[in-house]
Structure 1
Amino acid sequence: MTIKAVIFDLDGVIVSTDQYHFEAWSKISEEEGILFNETINHQLRGVSRMESLDIILQRATKTYSDEEKLQLAEKKNEYYRQSLHHLSPSDLLPGVEYTLKTLKQNNIKIAIGSSSKNTPTILKQIGLDKEFDAIADGNDITRSKPDPEVFLLAATRLDIVPEECLVVEDALAGVEAAIAGKMNVAAVGETLRSSDADYYLESVDELLELVL
């Protein structure tokens, strides 16, 4: 396996903002009188904001118009964005800083491939906004994971063919997206051990054994 670039999902791989998402969706659900819990929240990992909202609204007792959905999604995002101001470099997940530094020292290109439209804000808060060779996020794409669009865009911006990219993901939709993009994929976390990933990592720094 020849790997010339590593494309990282952001949330759950570089930093965890899961709790902030959960709290924002919980607030929206409570306001609308809709059941929401950790089990439902798990279904939202790796999918877009509007798709997440559709999953939540499946349990609603009323029908929402497209305009009402957009308003709810924007309100959720505002709750979420307010909480992002609490993020700092100390919130980087274990092994991330060392991994990024080592990859760069070994001339392996690094990129972010995230469905989140808040990617620029998050990267700035955790001090990594200037660290990556390319960034592709929810502001650049029209199809979220499991469509491979975001990863293929990242590879294009890196000028590396998909087959020479390794994607690091913590969500099933992301693993499926990488596979659809003909990329190698490493899944982080116990929950993905039953997926079709090529590799399974306990922590991000384990990928160094794969590519160096």
Structure 2
Amino acid sequence: MCDQPYPQAVIFDLDGVITDTAEFHFQAWQQLAQKLGIEIDRAFNEQLKGVNRADSLACILRHGGQEQVWPPEARQQFMTEKNDLYRQLLANLTPADILPGILPLLAAVRAAGCRIGLASVSENAPQVLASLGLSDRFDFCADARALSHSKPHPEIFLTACQGLGVDPRQSIGIEDAQAGITAINANGMYSVGIGATLTEADYRLNHTGELAWPDLLAHWQAAQVCPDTLITRS
């Protein structure tokens, strides 16, 4: 009888999984969009989750019929302005803003001997982790500035797996955005979706408070090919 397998790593998205800075992103983008005469609301903002800054700006300009109006240097200025607004909002972030279920999950994953990674397209991820007091909990954080592609491209999760020295097929990815779930699945990882509207996740929960390592591990084990072991999903 073969041993029950354990994942080599658990890799987390940041916004909406570890902490909720999505509202900060929305407020910063909304202020910039208003300056350009473009109206965006929270429903539109769903399209921007898990998407990098350049692609988010392109989406907003396309929405406002201004995609062909602004040259690259102007777009760069807009992105800098948005990031400055966002960083101002981040100033009030503290460990109290860590989402429910995350601290015990991080502790349990570490106790199980699994590596822990971060796959966030936010260039401010190191600042966010430091503000939350979580910098030392992660073995590797993918550098968003070094990426060529945003989610749903699988690059960021593949980069995280490479940085951790693990096999994507033996790793778990946790995301709250549809683009992120697509990226995880494209790498052959086991995908965990946080959110009622997500599709195609291997295991979906409504919110982070439902994350529990024994359940997550059991679901992951049940998905592994181990003909001599039968794991019942909980």
TM over 0.5: yes
The one of 49, 52, 62 aligned to 1:58: 62
How far apart, in 2, do the equivalents of 1:208 and 1:154 lie? Answer: 24
Look up the match of 1:188. Answer: 194
After TM superposition, the score normalised by the length of structure 1 is 0.94
The one of 159, 168, 193 aligned to 2:165: 159
Higher radius of gyration, 1 or 2: 2
Look up the match of 2:41. Answer: 37
After TM superposition, the score normalised by the length of structure 2 is 0.86
Look up the match of 1:137. Answer: 143
Aligned residues of 2:108 and 2:213 also touching (Cα < 8 A): no
The one of 77, 98, 113 aligned to 1:92: 98
Look up the match of 2:22. Answer: 18
Aligned residues of 1:112 and 1:137 also touching (Cα < 8 A): no
Flag the 1:73–1:208 CA change in 2: closer, same or farther, 3 A: farther
| Aligned-partner residue type, residue 47 of structure 1 | V
Look up the match of 2:185. Answer: 179
Aligned residues of 1:7 and 1:111 also touching (Cα < 8 A): yes
| Aligned-partner residue type, residue 190 of structure 1 | A
How far apart, in 1, do the equivalents of 2:79 and 2:42 lie? Answer: 19
The one of 115, 123, 140 aligned to 1:117: 123
Aligned residues of 1:146 and 1:176 also touching (Cα < 8 A): yes
Match of 1:111, SS state, is strand
The one of 63, 71, 75 aligned to 1:69: 75
Decide which moves more: 6-15 or 60-69. 60-69
Alignment of 1:9 with 2:7, yes or no, is no
How far apart, in 1, do the equivalents of 2:83 and 2:181 lie? Answer: 25
How far apart, in 1, do the equivalents of 2:164 and 2:104 lie? Answer: 21
Segments of structure 1 that go 5 or more residues without pairing to the other structure are none
